[in-house]
Chain A
């Protein structure tokens, strides 16, 4: 543990859902209040793409088109996170990884020494299968650093608007 803050280097996991936008907003406020550095990561799920080709759901052309679209999607979401941070005077670094979200994000945490992972999208268990397969759930269980779970909540949007 370094200094007074238990964390100095925050990583927030971003996907295309609204829950992860809440997690980004909360992380930005946390970074602003604590002075910690903040990075947002988006995983281009090439593992799922390869699986879809292997299992004959996708043609090769679809795979190539989707890979480009996923990279664009990552850029779009990461740019949005950057803008949200800038609106609060916070500098947010962005990283795109690819492969399996769990392996890629955990490797990034180890390589770059993140000391807090912020996740959205973990709530009430609606389906056992979902619990076993969601990237967020698996990251929560396997991440090598402390994890903060942000609930999807309208108050966060309001808090973000009003804070700082």
Chain B
């Protein structure tokens, strides 16, 4: 399993207009819930519960909020490119990769999370993602 396997153009939001990290996460969870036909609240609560243990900002304007969800059977990544930076803890963030993982497949969860962290270690990739105008461009940058 690779990052490509869990990428979905319909789970990418560019020009995300959020006022806070909670607001940004909520909008991404809503996008996920709409796409997958699930409820917003349980997923949002799980993501925010993890975030309350410690910020998932990793520097360079990137955050990777994540958690495991009992009710899902496939790992999903929801990507938000913020119009303006939002605060995750003390850090300003523009690129958000929300990773919703299964309880049953830790190997896949690790593969996906580490692939995102490696991807975002490149300043070239980060700049390309931040300047992407649509979800297709984001998808293409990540895939290729």
In the bound complex, do residue B4 and residue A45 qualify as a contact, i.e. CB atoms below 8 Å apart? no
| Chain A residues with CB below 8 A from B107, complex form | 15-16, 45, 70, 73
| Chain B residues with CB below 8 A from A51, complex form | 114, 117-118
- Contact partner of A127 (CB less than 8 A), chosen from B1, B59, B144, is B144
Tell me, yes or no, whether B69 is within 8 Å of chain A by CB. Answer: no
The tally of residues in B whose CB lies under 8 Å from a CB in A reads: 29
Tell me, yes or no, whether A126 is within 8 Å of chain B by CB. Answer: yes
Q: Mark A8-48, 1 if CB is under 8 A from B, else 0.
A: 00000001110000000000000000000000000001001
In the bound complex, do residue B108 and residue A55 qualify as a contact, i.e. CB atoms below 8 Å apart? no
Number of A-B contacts (CB under 8 A): 73
Q: How far is the CB of B72 from chain A (nearest CB, A)?
A: 16
In the bound complex, do residue B143 and residue A73 qualify as a contact, i.e. CB atoms below 8 Å apart? no
25 residue pairs A–B, Cβ–Cβ below 8 Å: A16-B1, A16-B105, A45-B110, A48-B110, A48-B111, A49-B110, A51-B114, A51-B118, A52-B113, A52-B117, A55-B121, A56-B56, A57-B58, A57-B64, A66-B106, A69-B106, A127-B2, A127-B143, A128-B143, A129-B119, A129-B144, A130-B2, A130-B3, A133-B118, A134-B2
Instruction: Other than A49-B110, A129-B142, give 6 A-B pairs with Cβ distance below 8 A.
Output: A45-B114, A56-B59, A73-B107, A126-B4, A128-B143, A128-B144
A residues within 8 Å of B by Cβ?
15-17, 45, 48-49, 51-52, 55-59, 61, 66, 69-70, 72-73, 126-130, 133-134
